[in-house]
Amino acid sequence: MMQNDSIEKLFKDLDPDFDFESPKEGHEQRFLKRLHNHPMTPTTRFKVYKFIAAIAAVLVIGFGVFKVVKPQPKTNDLASVSEQMSQTQNFFTTTINSELNKIKTIRTPENDAMVSDALKQMDVLETNYKRLKKDLQESGNDQRVVYAMISNLQNRIDLLEDVLASIEKLKKLHSEQTQLTL
């Protein structure tokens, strides 16, 4: 009951602000007369069609953007588990790509066998990772699978860092042997 009293008080307070005027007598007839006196000319018709075409174009573009921007099918990798796992995956992926690029730029005939072997090991790790992605989907984000995926990514980084360190040692050894022969 108290709530009804406050609503009534609100309407009483706002009463002077309400517009109670009604249209002048014959308003509807004047409106209809004006409407009938302005038939659609070819120019007006063109403007209406142009307006309708613009709306249709906006709708088509809007649906096109929706189709393009719509969420892609959910991938089952670390990024699908949580925001932190997405950041972890991005970090590992960026680091792995960086290390791979370093190895590819310092690849020489002397270290080619070492680099080729490392790339084969990377392929094995990638195959294992794909299997883990399937396991993640089937297990419903089981933490053991998540840890195995993180471990796989860490193993890749460790492998690449070991190869880079071995290449540097090989390079240093080659340099020392060159200096000894001179």
Whether residue 77 contacts residue 136, with contact meaning beta carbons closer than 8 Å, is answered with yes
**Shortest CA distance to 146 belongs to which of 101, 90, 79?**
79
What's the one-letter identity of residue 82?
S
Q: Residue 35 corresponds to which tokens in the numbers above?
A: 């409407």
What residues does each domain of the chain span? Answer: 44-71, 78-181
Residue 37 in tokens: 């006196």
Query: pLDDT 10s per residue in the chain (182 long)?
Result: 455 566 677 666 766 655 666 777 887 788 777 766 766 665 666 566 566 666 666 666 666 655 555 454 456 777 888 888 888 888 889 989 999 998 889 888 988 999 999 999 999 999 999 999 999 888 888 888 888 888 899 999 899 999 999 988 988 888 888 877 76
> Is 103 exposed, middle or buried (CB count within 10 Å of its CB: 0-12, 13-18, 19+)?
buried
Res 68: pLDDT: 53
Q: Which amino acid is at 79?
A: A
Closest alpha carbon to 125 in 97, 98, 157: 157
SS3 182: coil
Q: What is the pTM of this model?
A: 0.57
Inter-residue contact 81 to 150 (CB < 8 Å): no
143-181 vs 83-105: helix axis angle to the nearest 10?
20
pLDDT score recorded for residue 22:
72
